[in-house]
Amino acid sequence: MENTQSTSQATLDALIIGQGIAGSILAHELLEAGLQVRIIDKPQPRSSSRIAGGLYNPITGRTMVKTWRADELFPHLEDYYRNLEQKLKARFLRDCKIFRPFFTQEEQNEWLAQWDDDRYRHAIERIDTGQMDLNKHLKATLGGLYLKNAGTVETLTLVEAFTRHFINLGIYKEASFDEHAMELTSEGLIYEGVHYRRLIFANGYQAGNSQYFGWLPFRPVSGDILELECEQEPYCIYNRGIFLTPKGDRGTSRCGSTYRHKPLDEQVNDEGVMQIESKLQKLVNFNYKIVNAVAGIRPATYDRKPFLGRHPKHNQLYIFNGLGAKGVSLAPFFATQLKNHLLNKNYLIDSEVNITRCEKKFFNH
Ligand SMILES: Cc1cc2nc3c(=O)[nH]c(=O)nc-3n(C[C@H](O)[C@H](O)[C@H](O)COP(=O)(O)OP(=O)(O)OC[C@H]3O[C@@H](n4cnc5c(N)ncnc54)[C@H](O)[C@@H]3O)c2cc1C
């Protein structure tokens, strides 16, 4: 490890395994709090954070309900990523609206009646009844809803910017972490001759293979995404069954995604591609070219809530994981929560995300 200071004797505060969105943002939070952190990551081109669509959106689903904890997660989310952009000197946030077309007259009527009531005012900016020019590029003759407080984070750009930052700080090592090579001690642990107070698993779905955290009820989900060149560049995110983003810095729009438990792998699935295309054709009126297709595995959990906290037996082992399909909106809030807990044991991790919720049922003592 390229340390900027001698670490052979000193005990460092934390070793983080994995530098996807979870590990990156947690490391950032701990560093900002003045802790001494090291990161080990074996980048894989198809890791979730490298291929994600990167959308954030406070209301989702067919019934358009507020997402879990939206009132806490969303008010500071864009500012958080804007500050990171400044710090990392990179651009990855695009706070653009989402346009969600109506498919039936009935739907349009329902939303006209309810869009500005208390349940939706925070998320719906306005309603279009089919007058906009945009509609000729979309199969949206009935118009649709414009959702605010939504956008995308280019997660690959974010992760790459963080890698450069951590390399500059001399705290990053590109390697595969081997948990059998770690020695647990009464004060913490030793890995490759360096003493740490604690180790934090932020290694995505692969934490499911760990002898320490494999007992947690992960329910990983594969998904495909297409990268497209569109004849008409989307001017905001189009979202109905699938999403299509405006062209990003990498020159393509992203369109996805699918959810599949079997086969659970990072191989693009033909059926998945067909599914995306069939939904896209119901949404847009323009031609497009598929430039690339990618697939990854989301680190999802049995109750769709993150996994945070300390190992039931080993006080020096922690986990920050289970961000599922919502890494962009969950990571800043819960990394901050874990940091606060590490700095002050009296600061409790939310019971909804603390892994203690799974201990009774899943941990084999
Ligand atoms: C198709 C698809 C679409 C998605 N779309 C969105 C979206 O629109 N919006 C959204 O918010 N989220 C989306 N997600 C989810 C999002 O990608 C995840 O929530 C997030 O990336 C999880 O980040 P992570 O850091 O926990 O895991 P990962 O991204 O998997 O990162 C874990 C890192 O740990 C490394 N690692 C693992 N084991 C080891 C080891 N032993 N040693 C060293 N390194 C190791 C891995 O190589 C990787 O770099 C999507 C995911 C997929 C698959």
DSSP conformation letters of 299-334: --BTTSS-EEEE-SS-TTEEEEE--TT-HHHHHHHH
Residue 68 has pLDDT above 50, yes or no: yes
Q: Whose CA is nearest to atom 35 of ligand 1?
A: 18
Closest CA to 205 of 231, 223, 191, 187: 223
Pocket of ligand 1 (CB under 6 A): 17-23, 40-44, 47-49, 51-56, 176-177, 202-204, 206, 223, 225, 256-257, 296-299, 321, 323-329
Closest CA to 242 of 272, 206, 220: 272
What is the per-residue pLDDT across 24-67, written as a single tens digit (0 to 9) for each? 999 999 999 999 999 999 999 999 999 999 999 988 776 778 89
Do strands 242-244 and 317-321 pair parallel, antiparallel, or not at all (unpaired)?
unpaired
- What pLDDT shows up at residue 137? 84
Query: Which run of H or of E encompasses 175?
Result: none
Cα(61) to ligand 1 centroid in Å equals 22
Question: Which domains are assigned to the chain?
Answer: 1-97+154-217+305-365 (3.50.50.60)
- What pLDDT shows up at residue 6? 41
Query: Which run of H or of E encompasses 286?
Result: none
Residue 108 has pLDDT above 80, yes or no: yes
Query: Which run of H or of E encompasses 220?
Result: none
* CA max distance for the chain: 70
Q: How far apart are CA 123 and CA 145, in angstroms?
A: 10
Residue 256 has pLDDT above 80, yes or no: yes
As a whole number, the mean pLDDT across the chain is: 92
What is the per-residue pLDDT across 262-314, written as a single tens digit (0 to 9) for each? 999 999 999 999 999 999 999 999 999 999 999 999 999 999 999 999 999 99
Q: How confident is the model at residue 86 (pLDDT cuts 50, 70, 90)?
A: very high
Residue 9 has pLDDT above 70, yes or no: no
Q: Whose CA is nearest to atom 50 of ligand 1?
A: 52
What is the per-residue pLDDT across 302-327, written as a single tens digit (0 to 9) for each? 999 999 999 999 999 999 999 999 99
What is the per-residue pLDDT across 140-165, written as a single tens digit (0 to 9) for each? 888 999 998 899 999 999 999 999 99
For the segment 98-110, the average pLDDT, to the nearest whole number, is 90
The closest-lying atom of ligand 1 relative to the alpha carbon of residue 321 is 26
For the segment 334-363, the average pLDDT, to the nearest whole number, is 96
Residue 2 has pLDDT above 80, yes or no: no
- For the whole model, what pTM was predicted? 0.95
- What pLDDT shows up at residue 55? 95
Query: With contact defined as beta carbons under 8 Å apart, do 204 and 159 qualify?
Result: no
Mutate to test the pocket of ligand 1, among 154, 203, 294 (most ligand atoms within 8 A of CB): 203
What lies within 8 Å, CB to CB, of 211 at 6+ separation is 179
Cα(298) to ligand 1 centroid in Å equals 6
